[in-house]
């Protein structure tokens, strides 16, 4: 996989995607969104990859927002297409990926950057991280799922305030309100994410994929999350991972999941 705007490293069963536009503070443009889609798609199809970590190059920014120059003169219909396409190819795509995705928030995560972090399955932030959705200060609103995912994560009232003030919060505040799972010194961010990813990779990737699908179903208005859980639970019984997991448990040994 050769890309212009992102870097990919694989170490064992863990892959790291780094958005590599440091001069633009890793801002998301159309090409970067397309490259991220392709990278996530290929890594998700690789059975040897159990966890994906996404971060930004350098020490200043995860993603400092969208590349505003690309859409500053868009019409109403063009704006709607921009949001719809972005959600389809990246933000919703990441949220529904069967491979777990951890956002390693290593600095500014603003606008589309925070929306990308929120689309990941959970977030770990460095102490210098700053997060916010400043779109209303530009006369627009979050368009990549921010008005939906932020209330799900931190509650309606807090989300309304953060969106309407266009303010930023620091990493500790983000931890206190449940926007991130952990806050660590910047020099420990990569190792912390790898440690968590290592624990995840020891478990059944098939079961984890079903768990992601079931949890996400609970946040969709047209889906009964409990029914989705029942169906996913039953589906696990037909997998080789279930046979191996139960056999290993009964045999008092560590499971070696085939991922099938």
Catalytic residues: 115, 135
Q: What is the DSSP letter of 103?
A: E
Which has the closest alpha carbon to 236: 212, 216, 252? 212
Other beta carbons less than 10 A from residue 10's beta carbon: 13
SS3 content of the chain, % helix, strand, coil (to 5): 50, 15, 30
Distance of CA 241 to the CA centre of its chain: 25
Sign for the CA dihedral angle at 171, 176, 182, 187 comes to positive
Residues 163 and 143 sit within 8 Å (Cβ to Cβ) = no
User: Encoding tokens for residue 140?
Assistant: 């627009």
Please list, residue by residue across 162-178, b when 16 or more beta carbons sit within 10 angstroms of its beta carbon and e when fewer do.
bbeeeebbebebbbeee
Report residue 50: phi and psi, to 5°: -100, -25
Query: What three-state secondary structure class fits 29?
Result: coil
Residues 54 and 100 sit within 8 Å (Cβ to Cβ) = no
């Amino acid at each position: 996989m050769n890309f212009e705007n992102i870097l990919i490293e694989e170490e064992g069963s863990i892959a790291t995607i780094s958005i590599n536009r440091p001069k633009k503070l890793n801002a998301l443009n159309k090409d970067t969104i397309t490259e991220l889609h392709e990278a996530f798609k290929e890594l998700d199809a690789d059975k040897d990859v159990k966890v994906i970590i996404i971060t930004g190059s350098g020490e200043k920014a995860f993603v400092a927002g969208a590349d505003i120059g690309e859409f500053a003169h868009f019409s109403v219909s063009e704006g709607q297409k921009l949001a719809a396409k972005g959600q389809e190819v990246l933000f919703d795509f990441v949220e529904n990926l069967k491979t777990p995705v951890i956002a390693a928030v290593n600095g500014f995560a603003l606008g589309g950057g925070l929306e990308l972090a929120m689309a990941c399955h959970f977030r770990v932030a460095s102490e210098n991280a700053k997060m916010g959705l400043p779109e209303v200060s530009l006369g627009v609103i979050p368009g990549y799922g921010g008005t939906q995912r932020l209330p799900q994560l931190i509650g309606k009232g807090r989300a309304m305030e953060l969106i309407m003030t266009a303010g930023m919060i620091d990493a500790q505040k983000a931890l206190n309100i449940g926007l991130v799972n952990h806050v660590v010194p910047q020099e420990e961010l990569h190792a912390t994410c790898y440690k968590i990813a290592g624990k995840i990779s020891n478990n059944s990737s098939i079961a984890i994929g079903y768990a992601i699908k079931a949890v996400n179903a609970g946040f969709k208005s047209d889906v009964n999350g409990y029914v989705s859980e029942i169906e996913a639970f039953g589906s696990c019984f037909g997998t080789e991972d279930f046979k191996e997991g139960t056999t290993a448990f009964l045999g008092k040994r560590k499971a070696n999941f085939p991922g099938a």
